[in-house]
Amino acid sequence: MNIVIAGAGKVGYFLAKELMEENKVTLIDSNEKTIQNIDETLDVLSICGDVENPYTYRSIKNDIDLFIAVTDSDEVNLLSSLIIDNIVHVKEKIVRLKNDFFMNEKIKEKLGITDIITPSINVAHTFNYLIDFPHANNIKTFDFTKALLLSIRIHDKFVPLLLSTFKRNLNDKIIVAGIERGDKIFIPDEMAMLMPNDLIYFFTFPSQMKEIRISICNKEEKQATKNCIVYGANQLGIEISKVLAKKGLNIKLIDKTLEGCKQANTILKNSVEVIKSNYNLDFILETHAKNANIFISATTNDEFNITKCMEANQKGIEKVIGIHNNRQYASLMRKLGIEVIRGEKMNAYYTILEKISSSKLVSQRAFCGDEGMVYLRKTYPQMIGKTLEISNKIYEIGSFFIQRDKKFLPYKSIETFIEGDIIICFSLKKNSKSITNWFKQNIDE
């Protein structure tokens, strides 16, 4: 594909790096040092100029398959998506926005935008599930199914158990999609053992959550989450506070700047207590939140988030969540006992990649710190009564299932597809090209 990316910040840069191997990528930014770094490190065409200035695009002559606008300004992203249409023909456009005001179908239609993504809202939405299922470290939702992908850590006194036995005890209504054990991440087979302190990635329906909790978590029920501290009155911190307030929690939103506090108060309309503080956790706990049982560090500084989450752990706060915007920190945070949620930049990066690689029939998403991949494919009428042949070579590098009537059946156990079947696979990212090619076979028939 011929891809043009407006904005070479962290998101734009890493998108270009990921996409350049199999696509022709053009990256545009107004910062000369940024462009110089791109020229030295990436195999892409770089253009130095303002993306809202039509003159910047003068060197683009051919049609564009995909235009991606990921600058830090909503207005610039929208304007650039309009300008590019007057320069060359554009097939699809993806625009990142911060303000949900622009999430309007009329705006999307008028500007010919294929997809609008709002990372702060996407990240905050995750907290709806984390409050309902407090034992889960992280939860992902999917387009084709109501099943969730959630990670839960097994308690330290768990008696090792064969995976096939564990699944049988839950009537095959779960898939163990991945296991993180120390520094090792793997896709388990039926003979794998579940061990104490493993971080398990389950694919299952919400109705199975209680049984999973009873099976692998501490026997005592976790205390209901009521009192929450959120550090950082940025866009993400505000969106998280909105979600938690709607769930009926008592929120203390902390920011060290008066400007940030004023903005948060204006947006949240007194539904959340906003406190100006220098982020001293001892002071916050002593004076404002003695009974806090959930702590979220949502600043844009990953190192700060790690430090404060470690402090919160030491203070005995039951659930501690750190936002990360750097892939290198995710694994470290989990090792430190911090539950990890992608920040806005990481969410934007993965959401855009997932939209590029997915279609109306096939969806794929990264999980397990970008080490694993989830693939789903809907069956359509022409597939009923048939099957997709799969070679042993492909079958051995993935874990393949059919979702049917809220059960997960081994792929090779079915003879033909029936209406409503969904094909599911979990594999390591290093095998993604082979698995993707198999999933997309006969997609246009």
3-state secondary structure 26-90: EEEECCHHHHHHHHHHCCCEEEECCCCCHHHHCCCCCCEEEEEECCCCHHHHHHHHHHHHCCCCE
Rounded CA Rg of the chain = 23
H or E element: which one contains 193?
strand 193-194
Residue 78 is which amino acid?
L
Cβ atoms of 373 and 433 closer than 8 Å: no
Rounded Cα–Cα distance for residues 250 and 268 (Å): 13
pLDDT digits (tens, 9 = 90+) for 221-258: 555 668 999 999 999 999 999 999 999 999 999 999 99
Residue 412 carries which DSSP code?
A: G
> 280 to each of 231, 238, 283, 342, how far by Cα in Å?
10, 20, 5, 24
Q: Which of helix, strand or coil describes residue 171?
A: coil
Cβ atoms of 397 and 368 closer than 8 Å: no
**What are the sequence ranges of the domains in the chain?**
2-117, 135-175+191-203+358-445, 227-342
Length of the chain: 445
Q: Which of helix, strand or coil describes residue 415?
A: coil
Cβ atoms of 295 and 314 closer than 8 Å: no
Helix axes 119-132, 235-246, angle to 10 degrees: 30
Rounded Cα–Cα distance for residues 116 and 314 (Å): 40
pLDDT of residue 224: 61
Residue 362 is which amino acid?
V
Question: Which two structure tokens, joined as six digits, stand for 201?
Answer: 């990635």
Task: Tell me the whole-structure pTM to 2 decimals.
Answer: 0.88
Q: First vs last Cα of the chain: how many Å apart? A: 22
**Beta-carbon contacts of residue 358 (< 8 Å; ≥ 6 apart):** 143, 364
227-342 maps to which CATH number?
A: 3.40.50.720
2-117 maps to which CATH number?
A: 3.40.50.720
The count of other CB atoms within 10 Å of the CB of residue 23 is: 15
pLDDT of residue 445: 46
Rounded Cα–Cα distance for residues 143 and 422 (Å): 11
**Residue 243: which of 151, 124, 163, 139 has the closest Cα?**
124
Residue 384 carries which DSSP code?
A: B
H or E element: which one contains 408?
strand 407-410
Query: How do 90-96 and 64-69 pair as beta strands?
Result: parallel
pLDDT of residue 219: 53
Rounded Cα–Cα distance for residues 322 and 369 (Å): 14
pLDDT of residue 270: 82
Half-sphere exposure of 401 (CA within 13 A, CB side): 25
pLDDT, averaged per 10 consecutive residues of the chain (445 residues), comes to: 94 95 94 94 94 90 92 93 90 90 78 92 91 88 91 90 89 90 90 93 91 77 74 95 93 94 91 90 85 92 94 91 87 85 93 88 86 91 89 93 91 92 94 89 59
The reply to whether domains 2-117 and 227-342 share a CATH topology is: yes
Helix axes 327-335, 302-314, angle to 10 degrees: 10
pLDDT digits (tens, 9 = 90+) for 53-100: 999 988 888 899 999 999 999 999 999 999 998 889 999 999 999 877
Cβ atoms of 185 and 128 closer than 8 Å: no
Rounded Cα–Cα distance for residues 2 and 64 (Å): 5
Rounded Cα–Cα distance for residues 52 and 76 (Å): 6
